[in-house]
Structure 1
Amino acid sequence: MVAVAQYGTIKGNITTTDGQIAEGISVGVAGTSIGASTDAQGRYIINRVKPGVYTLMVQVVGLEPQEQSVTVVAGKTSEANFTLKESALKLQEVVVRAQQSKYKADLPSESLRLSAPLIETPQNIQVVTNDVIKDQQIFDMLEGVSRNVSGVTVQEHWGNYTRMTMRGARVAPFRNGMNVESTWGPLSEDMSFVERIEFVKGPAGFMLANGDPAGFYNVVTKKPTGTTKQEVNFTFGSYNTLRATADLDGSITKDGKLQYRLNLMGQQKDSWRDYEYNNRYSIAPVLKYKFSDKTSLTAEYTYQYSRMSAIGSAYVFSDEGFEDLPRSFTTADPNLEPSDMNDHSAFLLFEHNISDKWKLTAQTSYFDYRQEGSSLWIAGKVLENGDMTRTLNSWDASNKSKFGQLFVNGEVQTGAITHRILGGLDFGDKEYLADWSQYFVLDAEAPFNIYQPIYGQIIPPTVDHSVPLEDRPYVSTLAQKYGAAYVQDELGFWDNKLRLTLAGRYTKLATNQYGAIIKNEKFTPRVGISASVDRNTSVYALYDQAFIPQLGQLSNGGEVKPITGNNLEVGLKKDWFGGRWNSTVSVYQITKNDQLISDPASDPSQNLSLQIGQGQTKGVELDVRGQLTPALNLTMNYAYTDSEITEGMAGSALEVGDKVPGFAKHISNAWLSYKLNKGLLQGAGVSLGYQWQSERYPWTYREDASMQLPDYFRLDGAVSYQLKKISLAVNVNNLLDEYLYSGGAFDFDYDGTLDGYVWQTETPRSYRVSIGYRF
């Protein structure tokens, strides 16, 4: 027998006297420890409140507190809206002085399609907020984002795109709910136009098409808030770093129906390696028109430009072992031409609240990435005396993608059971073209010596970019078209204390892999259960099947099969001290069939792969984030990961029991930020954080102790000061000046024998100074 509902919900919005959204405002229930804060849309939600009459309190330092009486009815949602007795402009001054960094998010972004708070979701979802990004002075996705989520790493990279791993596999990049993954891409997002980054652990095909069992990360871009606020920042630092950003937010019309957001960025940045640089700029305008309180249309465009040194110059080679060369060593040359990237993306988002309980969302997007450049690599061995031969390939590329999404979500009641319904359609069309056919030997006259390098002596090769990429005879094509339909019902029992998720997705797709057309279709079910122990604690269990196409080229020329498999997971989530901080513990087991891994006996610059029969990854993860005290914010995590082959593959040296390459068994990170709220030093802050990894297995792993990576430890710190509208921050990375790197064993002759080493170094001790002004 189903019991009568015992709790209700309070939600609402907070605005200012001039009709603007009030973000980051705390709402508390008098006489209790429960409460919430408003998000970027000015909304808040307080769950699991016992029936009765309560007094809600809104307090902002420097403003008169406000109170409002609200009646909570079991099984119902009560609404309480506030209008602060202050203009948005004045409120900005007050909040900048009084509000602490927000390291914890309570709600997912709307692009994840979930209407439930994160604590009730039967999945491990970790959010890296904009405040964390600012405090750590992260410029783009390649820099330190991974440290804020358990088990996430960024290993070697080409410099133009980010490749993150989690739970033993590469995880797909999403932007605003769109799967924008390609084999090489997209261009790493600059943080100037990013609002938050959501790491969804485990599969999520019920939410978003083609989700890997390991998970994905979703980059959520900044949208108009309706609140007039402007911010500019200037940063300078080590290696000739100069960077300027502007974030302009407000309304164009007096009635607030037409709103805008404009983010601008310009950057010049060299490297600790000579002749290496990455200069960028981006423009990201967004317009939102509110037809009514129920209907809106948002148009967003982002342009990113990047000019960098020859791609691949960060890699170094030796036959003597890792750390054989100084961190400043490079195979780049000042005579080589730069590589240019032009990245365009556009979104159109339509949202309509059909009723208080139901919402319709339609979204379409178009991505157009163009690259003209070259990649630097090696031919043959590095000899004992250090002689080697550098080679250069053309790398002109095009990445075009089109997406469409239509979904509805809402809530219905059948007797005492609540149903949170989600259903929709996903469509995608992705095509990547690349030309590596132009090949040059840079050191044909005399070898290049890694111990006594001489730069500037080569005659720079002429790479022909004049012929349109589509018309070139040796262009390589990787493409994918898919369509998916899905439906999910989250059934809530005993006033939503117990939640059962039942979902399924049918996916049909076709891939073009270097001219081979492969078609697949599959239905994948999902079952999840989540229970609230009390209003601050929940437990969950999840079972999900996976079906993911893979784009790549097998070393044996065979057909690349899609990944199939399943995920089993259980977890515990808890909010502490009135919801100021949160902890999540999860235990999982992922089984994947036909996963692609790098082939150590092939040229990595050609991305040749092996396909294992079956791999299994097991792990435990812990994440803690939020405000421990009014002055102390923390993000801390630990992950244990073990990934090994459970079924072998023909023609490979990898056997059952071998580790699946590309993970670290133990990972722990922390970032602690302390800011004074009162006294003579009010506004001053200090931060300290570390990154630690142990038992690292590189992408070209073999059971050879001399070719394994050492443990990794990095210490970073910062000091800051906030004086009304002005902010100052100094960040120092790698405080201990450790020689840090990632890499792996290498096969110089591509004959199956690992006889060398390849790695990339990280920055030595370096600093960044940022000055900001809000108006």
Structure 2
Amino acid sequence: MPRSFIPSLTGALALGFSAATLAAEASPGPLNLGEVKINVQSVITDNATTEGSGSYTTGAMSTAVGLPLSIRETPQSVSVITRQRMDDQGMNDLNDVVKYAPGITLRKFGGDRQQFLARGFIIDNLMYDGLPTSLSTFTLDTIAGADLAMYDRVEVVRGATGLMSGAGSPSATLNLVRKRPTATPQVSITTSAGSWDRYRTEVDASNKLNDSGTLRGRVVAAYEDNKSYIDERDKLRQTFYGVVEADLSDATTWSFGASKQRDDATSDWGSLPAGPNGEDLHLSRSTFLSNDWAYWDRDNVSLFTDLTTRFDNGWTSRLAFAKTWAESNTFSSYLSAAKGGGFTQSSGQYDTTDVQTNLDGSLSGPFRLFGREHELTIGASRRQEKFDQKGGFWAKGTPIDIYNFDPGVIPKPDIADRTPYQSQNTATEEGVYAAARFNPFDPLHVIIGSRLSWYEYDNRSGTGDYKVTQQVTPYAGVVYDINDTYSVYASYTEIFKPQTQQDVAGSVLKPMTGDSYEVGIKGEYFNGELNASLALFDMTQQNRAYALDTQPASCLATNRTCYEAAGEVRSRGLDAEISGALTPDWQASAAYTLVLSQYVKDKAFDKGNLFAPNQPKHLFKAATTYHLQGAFAKARIGADVLAQSATYGRVGNGHAEQDPYAVVGLMAGYRLDEHWDARVNLNNVLDQKYWQGIPTASGSGTYGDPRNLMFSLKWTL
């Protein structure tokens, strides 16, 4: 995509700043922060909450720049998976959201291992109520299965989000927004049963806790017992969530909550293999190549609190704190390609603890400048991740026949025989940020922001400590309202990601930086009940570790590979979406994404080679629900589809390939009376056989779910 719009954007911003500076210098007095009184309730505003709205869209979201803006007012590609859509499609955990979210790809490489991908890059940041949480290969295994029973919605921002999330990749950020207490009685019980002996029960209760309603509480509990289409696999999940909200005064609200989720699973570590050069081995979808004694147990406990104060001049302060303890204990097996052909099975046992602490304080509100009203948010944050993993592996593999494998034959290895392994590190990031939305005249809105970050990595199990000091992450966006319905926009965002590779002198390479350029048009119909957008994006990631073609003698002498920060990749494409109400009885969401990701400079791949071939070039997702009329007014019907172009993974001298495919789902619901509602979901109607994780020679292939059925019955007070 040409970048001709960038000079125009830069010029507009410069003009805006110049005008602001001149007028500020000419102003005879201080800025008046009290002329406009806007009651900003909190980051989670009434028009942002989706529970009970019946909608597939939302009125406001703050994930992109920290200001509560509508989708049309946000100069990036943003989406929301609402509570109604989660219920209609029977989504139970975060993997389901990622599978159906616009522009996002779910990659599985084991029964309980996954990656989230967007625009050619891996998503390595999640947010909970706006507080960022770091993701890695191991922490994602614990966090990705987050049960949706406790969440109102999931907001998705595609592209770099460094202003609010800090360090990460220029892919996307998902913000999970929790349910809040209500002042009116609200109770529901939902039970579900489906294919492969899958059962789930969910209870949700909320009410005021005193006569005045200034103290409110909510509890959510879910229990799930799932078998699988894969032999031996099963999972038991227990989820609890509780939150209390108190109005300390007319202006101040304090909330405190906790959640706990426990998963106990019979699970593999790797999964199904390809041939040595990517050949399809035509294994059954039910094949399980681990053992009946294998397990992967996870426990996730979170505490969170926030204090929000609303001032008479329309400003709001918020102090938020969260702490998460995530534990994972696994003893399972994986495959390796044997010399001379065939496969061997090896095992590993690991205990992993990941403790993340987040603190964020912000102040936001309106101010007046040159007779116009504008908005500002400023804040400071600190987050720390303490990662500890201990365990080991058995290097000697046992030869197996993958076509005639019995999970009960290979005995559980003795812990005393393993090769020990340990990894311990602590990553701390601190930052200050600010963003302002200037409204110089009615059709034009300019958003300027920046973040200043300090990052420190402490490898507690060896060498490799490093620091990043005063890393600047800018943000700029322009939105121009063509009329009451349409707006055009342009934006530029950045993000940085530290790396551990060293140069010839032994110094850690400077961080990778990701740039995200985007231009688009957005439409808002029916007073915001329906939103549409079309965007072009162009992203690069620079300073990627690039192994030197000729390793200097000093590097060879110390038995290490030396790098330079010279690698670069580029991702370009198109993002289109429409979501919300087409009529009062018809909710719909449809999204198409085109992505072309290529190497610009890399040691192993020539310029123009695909950077992320496991992400589809073309991706289409849609879901819809229609409430029937007349004699069938109690009934509703729905459908969803996920379609993508071919993908592949490089294996040996060839490719493991996935042809283009489409997966279709159907839904029907019936309101029995004012308390009872029934729903049935038929997923993968055509029983499409496809790889949700493309296999490698060492076994990481995972099939998508075959055709399956789920019945649900919900009672509401």
Aligned equivalent of 2:630 = 679
Note the alpha carbon deviations across 1:469-526, whole angstroms, 9 max, x for none.
xxx974112431111111122110223x211112111111112356310111211222
Aligned counterparts of 1:460 and 1:558: Cα–Cα separation in 2: 43
The structural deviation recorded for 1:192 is 0.7
The structural deviation recorded for 1:710 is 1.4
Does the C-alpha gap of structure 1 residues 758 and 282 become closer, same or farther in structure 2, counting only changes over 3 Å?
A: closer
Does the C-alpha gap of structure 1 residues 702 and 709 become closer, same or farther in structure 2, counting only changes over 3 Å?
A: farther
Aligned equivalent of 1:738 = 688
Aligned equivalent of 1:570 = 519
SS of residue matched to 1:180 = strand
Higher mean displacement: 106-115 or 635-644: 106-115
Aligned counterparts of 1:382 and 1:348: Cα–Cα separation in 2: 55
* AA matched with 2:618: H
Report 1 or 2 for greater relative contact order, CA contacts < 8 Å, sequence distance ≥ 6: 2
Pairing 1:500–2:446 present: yes
Aligned counterparts of 1:139 and 1:760: Cα–Cα separation in 2: 20
Does the C-alpha gap of structure 1 residues 340 and 586 become closer, same or farther in structure 2, counting only changes over 3 Å?
A: same
Pairing 1:322–2:280 present: yes
Does the C-alpha gap of structure 1 residues 161 and 745 become closer, same or farther in structure 2, counting only changes over 3 Å?
A: closer
Aligned counterparts of 1:702 and 1:478: Cα–Cα separation in 2: 33
SS of residue matched to 2:701 = strand
Aligned counterparts of 1:365 and 1:211: Cα–Cα separation in 2: 19
Aligned equivalent of 2:79 = 126
Does the C-alpha gap of structure 1 residues 306 and 655 become closer, same or farther in structure 2, counting only changes over 3 Å?
A: same
The structural deviation recorded for 1:432 is 1.4
* AA matched with 2:570: Q
8 Å CA contact 2:271–2:700 kept in 1: the answer is no
8 Å CA contact 1:691–1:715 kept in 2: the answer is yes
* AA matched with 1:639: T
Does the C-alpha gap of structure 1 residues 596 and 478 become closer, same or farther in structure 2, counting only changes over 3 Å?
A: farther
Higher mean displacement: 125-134 or 537-546: 537-546
Note the alpha carbon deviations across 1:195-233, whole angstroms, 9 max, x for none.
100101222222332253222111111111323211110
Aligned equivalent of 2:159 = 202
Higher mean displacement: 153-162 or 516-525: 153-162
* AA matched with 1:342: D
Note the alpha carbon deviations across 1:551-576, whole angstroms, 9 max, x for none.
7999xx99575321311111111012
Aligned equivalent of 1:628 = 582
Aligned equivalent of 1:166 = 118
The structural deviation recorded for 1:323 is 5.4
* AA matched with 2:432: A
**Aligned Cα root-mean-square deviation (Å):** 3.3
8 Å CA contact 1:693–1:711 kept in 2: the answer is yes
Does the C-alpha gap of structure 1 residues 173 and 647 become closer, same or farther in structure 2, counting only changes over 3 Å?
A: same
Aligned equivalent of 1:245 = 202
Does the C-alpha gap of structure 1 residues 43 and 619 become closer, same or farther in structure 2, counting only changes over 3 Å?
A: closer
Matches within 5 A, 1:82-97: none
Matches within 5 A, 1:571-650: 571-595=520-544, 613-649=567-603
* AA matched with 1:457: V
Aligned equivalent of 1:182 = 135
8 Å CA contact 2:264–2:295 kept in 1: the answer is yes
8 Å CA contact 1:233–1:244 kept in 2: the answer is yes
User: TM-score w.r.t. structure 1 length?
Assistant: 0.79
Aligned equivalent of 1:761 = 703
Aligned counterparts of 1:329 and 1:473: Cα–Cα separation in 2: 30
Aligned counterparts of 2:122 and 2:545: Cα–Cα separation in 1: 10
The structural deviation recorded for 1:44 is 8.7
Residue of structure 2 aligned with 1:450, choices 402, 410, 423: 402
Residue of structure 1 aligned with 2:107, choices 148, 155, 167: 155
The structural deviation recorded for 1:707 is 2.8
Aligned length: 657
* AA matched with 1:766: N
8 Å CA contact 1:241–1:270 kept in 2: the answer is yes
Aligned counterparts of 2:353 and 2:109: Cα–Cα separation in 1: 19
Residue of structure 1 aligned with 2:214, choices 257, 273, 278: 257
The structural deviation recorded for 1:709 is 2.3
SS of residue matched to 1:707 = strand
Identity among equivalent positions (%) equals 21
The structural deviation recorded for 1:383 is 6.5
8 Å CA contact 1:367–1:402 kept in 2: the answer is yes
Pairing 1:520–2:473 present: no
The structural deviation recorded for 1:309 is 1.6
Unaligned runs of 5+ in 1: 3-8, 14-20, 22-38, 46-94, 466-471, 598-607, 749-756
Note the alpha carbon deviations across 1:344-375, whole angstroms, 9 max, x for none.
11111110012242000011111111122124
8 Å CA contact 1:148–1:670 kept in 2: the answer is no
Aligned equivalent of 1:277 = 234
Aligned equivalent of 2:438 = 491
The structural deviation recorded for 1:439 is 2.1
Aligned counterparts of 1:505 and 1:562: Cα–Cα separation in 2: 15
SS of residue matched to 1:134 = helix
Aligned equivalent of 2:149 = 192
Note the alpha carbon deviations across 1:727-763, whole angstroms, 9 max, x for none.
1111011100111113446355xxxxxxxx7411111
Aligned counterparts of 2:236 and 2:47: Cα–Cα separation in 1: 38
Does the C-alpha gap of structure 1 residues 11 and 408 become closer, same or farther in structure 2, counting only changes over 3 Å?
A: closer
Note the alpha carbon deviations across 1:86-108, whole angstroms, 9 max, x for none.
xxxxxxxxx99xx8731011211
Residue of structure 1 aligned with 2:608, choices 654, 657, 676: 657
The structural deviation recorded for 1:417 is 2.8
Does the C-alpha gap of structure 1 residues 260 and 245 become closer, same or farther in structure 2, counting only changes over 3 Å?
A: same
* AA matched with 1:518: Y
Residue of structure 1 aligned with 2:309, choices 335, 341, 352: 352
Aligned counterparts of 1:132 and 1:182: Cα–Cα separation in 2: 25
Aligned counterparts of 1:131 and 1:596: Cα–Cα separation in 2: 44
8 Å CA contact 1:585–1:621 kept in 2: the answer is yes
Residue of structure 2 aligned with 1:331, choices 275, 278, 289: 289
* AA matched with 2:495: A
Does the C-alpha gap of structure 1 residues 561 and 339 become closer, same or farther in structure 2, counting only changes over 3 Å?
A: farther
Aligned equivalent of 2:89 = 136
SS of residue matched to 2:616 = strand
Unaligned runs of 5+ in 2: 1-18, 21-35, 547-560
Aligned counterparts of 2:665 and 2:189: Cα–Cα separation in 1: 25
Aligned equivalent of 1:65 = none
8 Å CA contact 1:101–1:131 kept in 2: the answer is yes
8 Å CA contact 1:182–1:432 kept in 2: the answer is no
* AA matched with 1:730: V
Aligned equivalent of 1:533 = 482
SS of residue matched to 1:239 = coil
Pairing 1:403–2:358 present: yes
Does the C-alpha gap of structure 1 residues 110 and 482 become closer, same or farther in structure 2, counting only changes over 3 Å?
A: closer
Aligned counterparts of 1:504 and 1:715: Cα–Cα separation in 2: 43
Aligned equivalent of 1:604 = none
Aligned counterparts of 1:663 and 1:553: Cα–Cα separation in 2: 29
Residue of structure 2 aligned with 1:389, choices 338, 341, 344: 344
8 Å CA contact 2:623–2:640 kept in 1: the answer is yes
8 Å CA contact 2:647–2:659 kept in 1: the answer is yes
The structural deviation recorded for 1:236 is 0.5
Aligned counterparts of 1:729 and 1:112: Cα–Cα separation in 2: 38
8 Å CA contact 2:37–2:312 kept in 1: the answer is no
SS of residue matched to 2:279 = coil
Aligned equivalent of 2:555 = none
Does the C-alpha gap of structure 1 residues 146 and 550 become closer, same or farther in structure 2, counting only changes over 3 Å?
A: farther
Aligned counterparts of 1:221 and 1:382: Cα–Cα separation in 2: 51
SS of residue matched to 2:290 = coil
Residue of structure 1 aligned with 2:373, choices 374, 398, 418: 418
The structural deviation recorded for 1:376 is 1.8
* AA matched with 1:636: A
Aligned counterparts of 2:300 and 2:113: Cα–Cα separation in 1: 11
Aligned counterparts of 1:192 and 1:332: Cα–Cα separation in 2: 31
